[in-house]
Amino acid sequence: MAATTDSLIRMTGIQKVFYTDELETHALTDVHFEIRKGEYVAISGPSGCGKTTLLSILGLLDAPTGGEYHINGTSAAKLAPVERARVRNREIGFIFQAFNLIGDLTVFENVELPLTYRDMNANERKERVNAALERVGMTHRAKHYPPQLSGGQQQRVAVARAVAGDPAILLADEPTGNLDSKNGEAVMDLLRELNRNGSTICMVTHDSRYAKHADREVSLFDGRVVDAVGAA
């Protein structure tokens, strides 16, 4: 696959094999995949098809067994562990199904936490957190704790945490999985609005209703890309 000039993510021939007790499990096989800057892509498919494995590799939480992965023009294979951690912190925003908020930290502190691992002064962190909370409509809950919020509100805080660092790409892993349909649609609307304002988004979902919110849908089956629908 030839990379386009605005390619942000590029995977070529990605393989992922898990070895256990002389058994080989091929989670991903010959995956070719590209995301352009400003694009909104949904990765869909049934449970066990390799979606989460693919997202883990995209987020530098795991490494492929074979193939090449480039993020923002940099080969992931050439990154030392400390460099991988830095790219995860600065280039990638994660939105998880289970929110992954810390219960004894306030909303403000949860959003601020990833920024504390950067060389950033307190005033800049405060400005970024307030701006992120405003983007998701949660400024009025800044001093509350996660247990005091609804599921939909917690996911909005998780989105704010992901965007506060101004990452190159947002990776969303089943972001509506723990929400009812009303709150799920609200989170989808929020992601679409973020995309309209320039955010690059890659979302994993098993729900075809939510996949349609994206510009392009990439379908996985048994670890292979079987279909791509939407903008070329």
Residues 18-31: pLDDT tens digits? 988 878 999 999 99
- Asked if residue 203 is part of any domain, the answer here is yes
**Can you give the CATH number for the domain in which 149 is found?**
3.40.50.300
pLDDT of residue 3: 47
pLDDT classification of 41: cutoffs 50, 70, 90: very high
- Asked if residue 33 is part of any domain, the answer here is no
- Asked if residue 206 is part of any domain, the answer here is yes
Task: Give residue 214's domain range.
Answer: 38-61+76-230
Residues 140-154: pLDDT tens digits? 999 999 999 999 999
pLDDT of residue 5: 56
- Asked if residue 5 is part of any domain, the answer here is no
Q: What does the buried/exposed string (b/e) look like for 9-35 if buried means 16 or more CB atoms within 10 Å of the residue's CB?
A: bbbbebebeeeeeeeeeebbbebebbb
Residue 78: Cβ within 10 Å count: 8
Residues 164-220: pLDDT tens digits? 999 999 999 999 989 998 999 999 999 999 999 999 999 999 888 899 899 999 999
pLDDT of residue 1: 43
- Asked if residue 19 is part of any domain, the answer here is no
| Total domains in the fold of the chain | 1
pLDDT of residue 131: 95
- Asked if residue 22 is part of any domain, the answer here is no
200 alpha-carbon distance from chain centroid: 9
Taking the model in full, what pTM does it have?
A: 0.89
